[in-house]
Copies of this chain bind each other. A is one copy, B any other.
Amino acid sequence: MNLREIALLLNGKTEGDEDKEIAGVGKIETAAENEITFISNPLYVKYFKNTKACAVIVSEDFDKGDLRKDITLVRVADPYLSFLKLLDKFEESKTNTLTGISEFSIVGTDSEIGERVYIGNFVSIGSNCKIGADTKIFSSCSIDNNTEIGNNCIIYANVSLYKDTVIGNNVIIHSGTVIGSDGFGFAKQDDGTYNKIPQTGRVVIEDNVEIGSNCSIDRATLGDTRICRGVKLDNMIQIAHNVTIDENTVIASQVGIAGSTKIGKRCMIGGQSGIVGHITICDDVIIGAAVGVPKSIDKPGLYTGYRARPLKETLRMEVGMQNIRKLEDRVKELEKKLYK
């Protein structure tokens, strides 16, 4: 792609040589000579002087001064979004080459495979499965019976989908993630041993969800564990049986959500936080990192602390804790005065 084509794609204007061929995109500090980069944050303007990149995407009012007349500028309304668009374009051209079903994979009886599907080596697909068009399944995935995967999904290597799992369209699941393992349910017996409570429900993942690597999402005891449209999960997240996570909620890595809890729409949950079972978090709640949520939250807002509290309370308490020593000194003074 040359810079004329790039400007067209980004709805921008070039300033300088627009015949240069661009091989890829890079960060302004490390881009190569045949790459294009961008400046969005003013903090990065200082790198402009020395970048090796031959072209830079900048805002419409960017002032390059007298410097670097060798660099072609591409002026756009929003350099960051334009850059992402371009990144996508370059990436797309690489992954679209994957098609075909490896002869070293196995598809069970009565399973339907859509058009243009890619199935890598040593993938095992059970019976009665449906794999939608344009979906890509990387090597060593295990997909058990009666599983449905929609169109245009990417399932990376070594993912395990237990039987009966339902996955929508445009879903991405990263390596090592396990979906549909048994929920953690046992009935204590009089002799102190535990009997397993059968976990016969399933997991449903709706459209446009992305799930990071090494996550665990357990099947419901009965009914569904459900990850709704547009939810984004980072790596190593634990979702217990019968949990529901509503649309467009975003969860950072190493969070754990215990059984039967319901998380609302558009929530954001920080890394390593934990949410107990059988509670409800309403829409638009933001939970900080490493927060424990011991009970339901019914007001939107920011919650932080070892036990989740509205941010204001946490700060007040933190200040209070830091004041304890001072308080002790003041009480000591009072005592001296009074008891002497």
> Could you tell me which A residues sit within 8 Å of B by CB distance?
25-27, 29-30, 81, 84, 87-88, 90-91, 104, 106, 120-122, 124, 138-142, 144, 156-158, 160, 162, 172, 174-178, 181-182, 184, 186-187, 192-198, 200, 208, 210, 212-216, 218, 222-223, 230, 232, 234-236, 238, 240, 247-248, 250, 252-254, 256, 258, 265-266, 271-272, 274, 276, 289-290, 292, 306, 316-317, 320-325, 327-328, 330-331, 334-335, 337-338
Contact = CB atoms under 8 A, between A and B. Distances in A.
A135 B292 CA distance: 39
21 contacts: A27-B222, A30-B222, A81-B187, A91-B198, A121-B122, A122-B122, A156-B181, A160-B176, A160-B213, A181-B235, A194-B232, A214-B236, A236-B238, A238-B271, A271-B274, A272-B272, A272-B274, A274-B289, A306-B306, A321-B321, A334-B338
Contacts of A292: 272, 289-290
Contact of A122 (B84, B87, B124, B198): B124
A247 B324 CA distance: 40
A247 B142 CA distance: 32
A25 B331 CA distance: 62
A80 to B, nearest CB: 8
Contact of A250 (B91, B186, B265): B186
A178 B181 contact: no
Contacts of A88: 198
Contact of A140 (B140, B266, B271): B140
A160 to B, nearest CB: 4
A106 B122 CA distance: 9
A165 B260 CA distance: 35
B138 A140 contact: no
A197 B194 CA distance: 38
B256 A271 contact: yes
B212 A181 contact: yes
B140 A253 contact: no
Interface of A: prevailing SS: loop
Contacts of A258: 252-253, 271, 289
Given A235-B216, A238-B253, A327-B328, A25 B222 contact: yes
A212 B236 CA distance: 14
A319 to B, nearest CB: 9
A160 B175 CA distance: 7
A43 to B, nearest CB: 12
A156 to B, nearest CB: 7
A87 B198 contact: yes
A248 B271 CA distance: 25
A186 B232 CA distance: 9
